[in-house]
Amino acid sequence: MKPNALPGALVISLDFELHWGMRDHLRPNEPEFAQLKGSRSTVTELASLFARRDVHATWATVGFLFASTHQELIQFSPTNRPQYTRPEFDPFTEPVGDNEELDPEHLAGSLIDMLDSTPGQEVASHTFSHFYCLEAGQDEDAFRADLTSARDIAQFRGIELKSLVFPRNQWNPHYASAIKEHGFTCIRGPQPSRGHEARAHGTQSVRNRAQRMTETYIGPTPPPTTAWDQVDQLQGLCDVPASAFLRPYNPKTKWGEPLRVRRLKAGIRDAARSGRIFHLWWHPHNFTKYPKQNFELLNLLIDEFEDQAKKEGMESLSMGDVATIVEHW
């Protein structure tokens, strides 16, 4: 099918990382760490909601989490590791328990198996070690070694990786061929609006953060969507850029909830009517503190999607589904 004849699509991706995505600023003795164990059941709940409502999603998972035991994690760890200038970014110094039961914040092989056997769910990569592609001290060789480990541990669980999401959205265009050579066909590029440019830590300005926060409620409506013919961009690598981050519910900004819902629904409708792609992303742990409010919002968005599926033929796709369509037109 030609790109201009394709229906609109809702793409959902989740950055699944447990402690690995926040270990530089959250230590195990802090109260928020205790929530990570609970976020494992959020993963199960989200997957069963998606299966029940026939929603496809991409689970961009840190490679360490594919391991069920510390031994497996060691077995697949690369020997060439990033030598970050900031030592707090080095994940290989993190103490890890013997198995998933003893260390549910760092090992999650059983959850990977669950996701892989849930209909419509794509297990994808968030790099092996939550690799920061724009930080000082890392290089392309270390990145390649990281991707090899990610691919090998996924194969160990019987999974072929197709899609990749960059930690902290640090997209480094110089790494496009490394990504392709490791078998990936799809990435989630940075959201194409102000305040979302790919940046290294410490160069994120307060203004950028404020811009992103304000945008949740009163940003451009509808949020940016992607045309099908813009997807195949990088020498055969599909880029499905983010449209919006599903920010966790916060009682302090309760006033803004109706605006936020309206804006996100407008994005889904706009993509449906114009045959474009609306890409929503978040982390499973974002739902853990206020599960009721967060799941309510997600269900409202899925209601809107179902409405648009009936009216406009909108489809629910994973990033991998998008790449498969693009490869075959």
- Residues 15, 105, 146, 315: which binds Zn ion (CB under 5 A)? 15
Choose among 86, 181, 96, 196: nearest CA to 136: 86
CB of 16 or CB of 305, closer to Zn ion: 16
Partnered with residue 168 across adjacent β-strands are: none
Q: How far is the CB of 127 from Zn ion (least distance, A)?
A: 9
CB of 125 or CB of 193, closer to Zn ion: 125
Provide the pairing of β-strand 276-282 with 226-227. antiparallel
Residues 33-62: x where in contact with Zn ion by CB under 5 A, - otherwise, as a string: ------------------------------
* Amino acid, single-letter form, for residue 297: L
Q: How far is the CB of 229 from Zn ion (least distance, A)?
A: 29
**SS3 label, residue 114:** helix
Partnered with residue 13 across adjacent β-strands are: 58, 281
Q: How far is the CB of 16 from Zn ion (least distance, A)?
A: 9
Scanning 12-20, 83-91, 131-139, 308-316 for contacts with Zn ion by CB under 5 A, the matching segment is: 12-20
Partnered with residue 14 across adjacent β-strands are: 59, 282
> Binding of Zn ion at residue 321 (CB under 5 A)?
no
Q: How far is the CB of 56 from Zn ion (least distance, A)?
A: 21
Distance CA 37, CA 100 (A): 11
Scanning 11-19, 30-38, 223-231, 320-328 for contacts with Zn ion by CB under 5 A, the matching segment is: 11-19
CB of 167 or CB of 284, closer to Zn ion: 167
Residues of span 142-201 touching Zn ion by CB under 5 A = 167
* Amino acid, single-letter form, for residue 103: D
**SS3 label, residue 88:** helix
Written in H, E and C, the secondary structure of 123-169 is EEECCCCCCCCCCCCCCHHHHHHHHHHHHHHHHHCCCCCCEECCHHH
Q: How far is the CB of 166 from Zn ion (least distance, A)?
A: 8
CA 208 to chain CA centroid, nearest Å = 20
- Residues 21, 63, 189, 222: which binds Zn ion (CB under 5 A)? 21
> Binding of Zn ion at residue 17 (CB under 5 A)?
yes
Scanning 7-15, 76-84, 117-125, 143-151 for contacts with Zn ion by CB under 5 A, the matching segment is: 7-15
Q: How far is the CB of 179 from Zn ion (least distance, A)?
A: 17
Classify residue 29 as exposed, middle or buried by CB count within 10 Å of its CB (0-12, 13-18, 19+): exposed
Q: Interface with Zn ion by CB under 5 A: which residues?
A: 15, 17, 21, 167
